Amino acid sequence: MADSPEYVPPKVWTWDQESGGKFANINRPIAGPTHDKELPVGEHPLQVYSLATPNGVKVTVMLEELLALGKDAEYDAWLINIGEGHQFGSGFVDINPNSKIPSFCDHSTNPPTRVFESGAILFYLAEKFDNAFLPTDAAQRAECMSWLFWQMSSTAYLGGGFGHFYAYAPEKWEYPINRYAMEVKRQLDVLDRNLAERRFLIGDDYTIADIATAPWYGALAMGKLYDAGDFLDVTSYTHVRRWTEEIQQRPAVQRGQRVNRVWGDEDKQVPERHDASDIT
């Protein structure tokens, strides 16, 4: 790998639409909608607008887990294909000014409650359904929220940093790949050390912290993100892998990971979900 010629930043940065990379066609330095498009609303109070990325599946897994507990958490999940720019439609921007998936709306309230950012949606749903997957003990609750916020802040390095430069950038540059690989491996070590002493992130109980973290770091530790398993030596993180394997055995996790999925094996794709029968 070789670095590019020395780059001298201009006095004022301007947007180069020809910068390249896998997501260059949807990245832009401004917010707001690019086109008018209302969001559909199904028959259930809970409406999800998403795609089955590591961030997207957090919410559908949570809802499937709530249903498995017997909670009245039936929901509609609508496909937002970010590769086609659906997240910049006016209706989507109305519920998420940041134009990122997943987004969520609860129509059981008047007016309906919008929630964006996956961690906020998990917390909202946990509180709405009697603190499901969220401890009520103050110390345990604080521990759970600490790991939830850790995941939300750390993933920028994993997805936006390492994933971009290792897998999606138009050229391989040694410095950013090394910089982000070092940080991602440090994060994996943080998790591995914690899980060496605990079954789940905060102890014996499975919580929203696990639901948030497994789609990113669990998938990475199993070699399923960015084709980077060998590069990051993920097999060395034995406790993260043990934790991931246990979570992956949960039927609700398996169901939730299929919702809003439009790639891979056809029998695992559920582009939209409006009823339990949609996941056979």
Sequence-distant (≥ 6) Cβ neighbours of residue 27 within 8 angstroms: 21
Q: Is pLDDT at 260 greater than 50 in this prediction?
A: yes
Whole-number pLDDT of residue 6: 82
Q: What predicted TM-score, i.e. pTM, was given to this entire model?
A: 0.95
Q: In the chain, which segments carry CATH 3.40.30.10?
A: 46-132+258-278
Q: What confidence tens digit (pLDDT) does each residue in 129-181 have?
A: 999 999 999 999 999 999 999 999 999 889 989 999 999 999 999 999 999 99
Q: What percent of the chain has pLDDT over 70?
A: 96
Spacing of C-alpha 252 from chain mean position: 16
Contact 163, 140 (CB under 8 A): no
121-131 burial by CB neighbour count: b if 16+ within 10 A, else e? bbbbbbebbee
| Mean pLDDT for the stretch of residues 238-243 | 98
Between CA 92 and CA 135 the distance in angstroms is: 32
Confidence of residue 27 (pLDDT cuts 50, 70, 90): confident
| Mean pLDDT for the stretch of residues 213-227 | 97
159: left (phi over 0), alpha (psi -120 to 50) or beta: alpha
Q: Is pLDDT at 2 greater than 60 in this prediction?
A: no
Whole-number pLDDT of residue 169: 92
β 103-106/75-79 pair status: unpaired
Strand partners, 273: 77
* 46-132+258-278: CATH topology: Glutaredoxin (3.40.30)
Q: What percent of the chain has pLDDT over 90?
A: 90
Right CATH number for 138-248 from 1.10.1740.10, 2.30.110.10, 1.10.150.120, 1.20.1050.10?
Answer: 1.20.1050.10
Q: Is pLDDT at 1 greater than 70 in this prediction?
A: no
Q: Is pLDDT at 277 greater than 60 in this prediction?
A: yes
Q: What confidence tens digit (pLDDT) does each residue in 66-83 have?
A: 999 999 999 999 999 999
Contact 73, 83 (CB under 8 A): no
Whole-number pLDDT of residue 4: 56
Q: What confidence tens digit (pLDDT) does each residue in 90-116 have?
A: 999 999 999 999 999 999 999 999 999
Phi then psi for 128, rounded to 5 degrees?
Answer: -60, -35
Average pLDDT, the chain: 95
